[in-house]
């Protein structure tokens, strides 16, 4: 050991490590090897928990850590009901004016259909995504990208990457 180099003890494995290979994570000194082992561990989620959360559109995705996708799906599901009830009110107000009445009827038919498609997609996506995440083969789909663009994070991608690393190291 060199006298000019400072050494610290890893709080997980107890090995003596120089300052270049140790990280301070939430007040704990952790060596590079322990950090790499922690990051390599597979994430597992309860199938029953995923199923129960997937009964509410978007909640299953939030349970799996796909918060933006879950918020996007839940928000669009709720919005479809507001659109449906708005179309029903529009039908009552404009029942004599033909063009608005036809538009309102079309919306009042399409909004529940959209809500049903959203519900079915969200349910199956949560249960399939759980398997993909556990097998480390998950790839963002078009809804992930749409949710990312819709719900942009002001702090940027670097902040998100740091949060992911912090979450995996817990």
Contact by Cβ (8 Å): 73, 118: yes
The tokens for 78 are 């709720």
* Per-residue pLDDT tens over the stretch 106-157: 888 999 999 999 999 999 999 999 988 888 788 888 888 888 888 876 555 5
* Per-residue pLDDT tens over the stretch 33-49: 787 777 666 678 888 99
Separation between Cα atoms, residue 162 and residue 23, nearest integer Å:
13
> 1-41: what CATH class?
alpha beta
Q: Domain-by-domain residue ranges, the chain?
A: 1-41, 44-169
Query: If you search the block for the tokens 């060596």, which residue do you land on?
Result: 31
Question: Angle between the 32-40 and 157-169 helix axes, to the nearest 10 degrees?
Answer: 90
Q: How far is CA 72 from CA 4, 36, 125, in A?
A: 54, 32, 13
Over residues 80-102, mean pLDDT: 82
Strands in the chain per DSSP E:
7-9, 16-18, 22-25, 28-31
Q: What are phi and psi of 160, to 5 degrees?
A: -65, -45
């Amino acid at each position: 050991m060199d006298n000019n180099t400072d050494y610290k003890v890893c709080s997980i494995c107890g090995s003596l490590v120089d300052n270049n290979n140790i990280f301070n994570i939430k007040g704990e000194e952790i060596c590079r090897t322990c950090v790499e082992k922690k990051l390599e561990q597979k994430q597992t989620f309860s199938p029953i928990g995923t199923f129960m959360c997937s009964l509410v559109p978007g909640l299953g995705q939030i349970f799996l850590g796909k918060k933006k996708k879950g918020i996007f799906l839940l928000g669009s599901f709720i919005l479809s009901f507001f659109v449906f009830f708005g179309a029903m009110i529009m039908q009552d107000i404009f029942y004599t004016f033909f063009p608005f009445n036809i538009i309102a009827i079309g919306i009042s038919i399409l909004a529940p259909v959209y809500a049903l498609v959203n519900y079915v997609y969200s349910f199956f996506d949560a249960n399939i995504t759980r398997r993909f995440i556990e097998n480390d083969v998950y790839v963002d789909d078009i809804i992930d990208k749409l949710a990312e663009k819709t719900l942009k994070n002001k702090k940027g991608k670097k902040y998100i990457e740091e949060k992911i690393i912090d979450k995996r190291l817990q």
